[in-house]
Amino acid sequence: MLVRIVRLLLPLLPHRLAFALTRALASIPSNAPLKAHDRKVLDAALRIEFGRDRRKVAWVWGQGPTVVFVHGWGGRAGQMVGLADHAARDGFRSVVFDVQAHGESAGRSVSFRHFIDDLAELSDFLAVPIHACVGHSAGALCMMAARELRGLRAAHYVCLCAPRAPYVPVREIAQRLQPREAVLRRCEAHYAAQFERSWQELDNGCAFRDPGHGRLLLVYDMDDARVDNSDDACIRSVWPAAQVIKTRGLGHQKVLWDANVCRYVLEFLHGASPSRRAIMSGQDDGASSTVAADT
């Protein structure tokens, strides 16, 4: 109902007001449900509160090199528990957290900058070398941007369904609200400013530039309806040594729970490279995925 009302109002408002209303609606947080199994894993982990006001929440478990997992826009830490728990059982110290305005972390609005700053604050709070960062969707994009913007550094980066630029909310705004073109351009400028870059620079993959150290693994699904699975080409133009895995039949979310993807991610965290082969794997829901590695 709210979306319908806003869609009717936008053509009647000046560009500035139309943009302000659009931005406010797009920034409303949505809470993803937490599965019972994920709740059980988090309850057994060490719960920590970080940030200046200690109103952001993270969970830590396992022993070994530290791996930080970053959920996506509208997600929560629980969505990363599957990968994180496997990592903890495989010799790593796993850290998951709720970005502000997500899950159990306080906040009234969502922004890309929150992802960037919260990850940096968590890294500072942990005060240990970060072995790897594993991010999903917007979390992966912001994780990579945090390297330049906030000095984040890790030996390994894994990006699951990462958009080359913050285009996903702009596309969703265009589809749901159908605002004028000028309003969409303002949205692009607004999101680009959170990365301290121009929209064109971001669209060219600047957030993923090879810093000359570390390793990068990209995972995309051919049937992802939210993120272009061809974004790996743009990212590899700025990080040529990035390794790529393409799956099929998982979409935007199920890649987080796919057994083959999990295995490849863990191998990558241990320093191995995905082999040049394709594997068919049955899923719990009867679906299947094809995993192909390109190094």
Together in a domain, 175 and 263: no
pLDDT at 279 over 70: no
pLDDT at 226 over 80: yes
pLDDT at 2 over 80: no
Torsion angles phi and psi, residue 240, rounded to 5: -60, -30
Together in a domain, 10 and 128: no
Together in a domain, 144 and 243: yes
Domain end call among 203, 218, 252: 203
* Predicted pLDDT at 87: 98
Together in a domain, 3 and 78: no
Rg (CA), the chain: 19
**Would residue 259 count as lying in a domain?**
yes
Concatenated DSSP letters of 201-250: HHHTTGGG---SSSEEEEEEETT-SSS-TTHHHHHHHHSTT-EEEEESS-
Give the pLDDT band of residue 284 (cuts 50, 70, 90).
Answer: very low
Measure Cα distances from 31 to 74, 104, 116, 265 in Å.
6, 9, 19, 27
pLDDT at 282 over 80: no
Domain hosting residue 25, numbered range: 1-29+167-203
**Tokens encoding 153:** 């550094």
**Tokens encoding 250:** 């998982």
Together in a domain, 218 and 109: yes
**Would residue 37 count as lying in a domain?**
no
Domain end call among 141, 176, 203: 203
Torsion angles phi and psi, residue 291, rounded to 5: -110, 120
* Predicted pLDDT at 294: 66
Residues 98-127: tens digit of each pLDDT: 999 999 999 999 999 999 999 999 999 999
* Predicted pLDDT at 277: 45
Together in a domain, 131 and 252: yes
Together in a domain, 210 and 270: yes
CA–CA dist 69, 65 (Å, integer): 13
State how many domains the chain has.
2
Together in a domain, 193 and 286: no
Give the pLDDT band of residue 31 (cuts 50, 70, 90).
Answer: confident
Concatenated DSSP letters of 131-155: EEEEEETHHHHHHHHHHHHH---EE
Give the pLDDT band of residue 53 (cuts 50, 70, 90).
Answer: confident
Measure Cα distances from 87 to 42, 64, 162 in Å.
14, 10, 20
**Would residue 103 count as lying in a domain?**
yes
Round the average pLDDT of the chain to a whole number and report it. 91
**Would residue 1 count as lying in a domain?**
yes
CA–CA dist 273, 182 (Å, integer): 45
**Would residue 36 count as lying in a domain?**
no
- CATH number reported for the structural domain that contains residue 262 in this entry: 3.40.50.1820
pLDDT at 33 over 80: yes
Residues 58-85: tens digit of each pLDDT: 999 999 999 999 999 999 999 999 999 9
Which 8-state DSSP code applies to residue 99?
P
Residues 133-155: tens digit of each pLDDT: 999 999 999 999 999 999 999 99
Together in a domain, 3 and 104: no
Residue 142: CB partners within 8 Å, gap ≥ 6? 70, 112, 115, 116, 119, 135
Together in a domain, 141 and 253: yes
Residues 165-202: tens digit of each pLDDT: 999 999 999 999 999 999 999 999 999 999 999 999 99
Together in a domain, 72 and 184: no
**Would residue 60 count as lying in a domain?**
yes
Together in a domain, 11 and 84: no
Total Cβ atoms within 10 A of residue 270: 13
CA–CA dist 184, 171 (Å, integer): 9
**Would residue 149 count as lying in a domain?**
yes
pLDDT at 281 over 60: no
Chain centroid, CA 255 distance in Å: 12
* Predicted pLDDT at 7: 80
Query: Sheet of 215-221: strands edge to edge?
Result: 46-50, 56-61, 93-98, 66-70, 130-136, 154-160, 215-221, 243-247, 288-294, 278-282
pLDDT at 243 over 80: yes
**Would residue 34 count as lying in a domain?**
no
* Predicted pLDDT at 30: 83
